[in-house]
Amino acid sequence: EPEVTQTPSHQVTQMGQEVILRCVPISNHLYFYWYRQILGQKVEFLVSFYNNEISEKSEIFDDQFSVERPDGSNFTLKIRSTKLEDSAMYFCASSEGHSRSYEQYFGPGTRLTVT
Amino acid sequence: TQLLEQSPQFLSIQEGENLTVYCNSSSVFSSLQWYRQEPGEGPVLLVTVVTGGEVKKLKRLTFQFGDARKDSSLHITAAQTGDTGLYLCATTFYGQNFVFGPGTRLSVLP
């Protein structure tokens, strides 16, 4: 069964460093998403991406964040200058479409720890 | 931003018991997804409900979408220890992006 994959599973970085989180969405899906989940809190939407551009972003997704689809398979989230409060699980998701019945499939997540 | 509420927040039951968890909002859902999340893992999609009044069954799990499309319930019959996890509802309110509820953390004891 096709699945979303993410690498690395765990990333430790120092405050102020840049990190890139990688995702391989399900191959026939057209919409891609990043979410984060701070420990013990809700899953929060960050950004959606379609046709090589951002379609929606939340207030969390500020100038330190960027997304890219550098090739036909990878979808990346870059955090330019990490802060302690960026420590969280980051989930990538993908879906076939964006209609009211669309279903998003999630990857296993990357645990980001900023020290 | 529209909010999803889930209840109860925590639920601990014995294996074999039945349970129901709820998801609701003051606004109408366009559709609703139920996910289960285990610690350190991503949410796993269980079901999508789209039509008001819809009932879907997935083995021992029964999902119901309220007639007014503002609430949904998940009923588990004869719970098993493998049902333990965080049950999340999620939706896209009209014109907004995906929103998750805070979840119901279920613990099924042997």
Determine the pLDDT at residue A1: 76
Domains in chain B, start-ordered, CATH in brackets? 5-109 (2.60.40.10)
Q: What pLDDT band is residue A40 in, cutting at 50, 70 and 90? A: confident
For an interface test with B, the pick among A33, A45, A50, A55 (most B C-beta atoms closer than 10 Å) comes out as: A45
**Range name among A33-42, A58-67, B87-96 with the lowest pLDDT average:** B87-96
In three-state secondary structure terms, A106 is strand
CA distances from B88 to A84, B27, B35, B63 (A): 27, 18, 5, 13
Fold of A5-95: Immunoglobulin-like (2.60.40)
Task: State the pLDDT confidence band at A100, using cuts at 50, 70 and 90.
Answer: low
CA–CA gap between residue B57 and residue A15 (Å, rounded): 47
Q: How far is CA A98 from the centre of its chain?
A: 17
Can you give the pLDDT at residue B6? 97
Residue B96 pLDDT grade (very low, low, confident, very high; cuts 50, 70, 90): low
CA-based torsion, A112, B42, A29, A53: positive or negative: negative
Query: ω into residue A25 within 30 of 0, thus cis?
Result: no
Using DSSP's 3-state secondary structure scheme, residue B57 falls into strand
Task: Tell me which of B56, B97, B99 to substitute to probe the interface with A (most A C-beta atoms closer than 10 Å).
Answer: B97
What was the pLDDT predicted at A21? 98
pLDDT higher than threshold 70 for residue B1 = no
Using a pLDDT cut of 90, give the percent of chain A over it: 77
The identity of residue B39, as a single letter, is P
Q: What are phi and psi of B95, to 5 degrees?
A: 80, 0
Query: A3 in contact with B at a CB cutoff of 8 Å?
Result: no
Q: Is A108 on the interface with B (CB under 8 A)?
A: yes
Q: Are B12 and B105 in contact (CB under 8 A)?
A: no
Q: How far is CA B101 from its chain centroid?
A: 9
What's the mean pLDDT when you consider all of chain A?
92
Does residue B53 have a pLDDT over 80? yes
Domain ranges (residues) in chain A: 5-95
Measured distance CA(B6)–CA(B3) in Å, rounded: 10
Q: What CA–CA distance (Å, rounded) separates A90 from A98?
A: 21
Average pLDDT, chain B: 92
Please choose, from the candidates A115, A86, A91, A112, the residue with its C-alpha nearest in 3D space to the C-alpha of residue A10.
Answer: A112
The amino acid sitting at A15 is M
pLDDT of residue B92: 79
Give the residue from chain A lying closest to B5, CA to CA.
Answer: A42
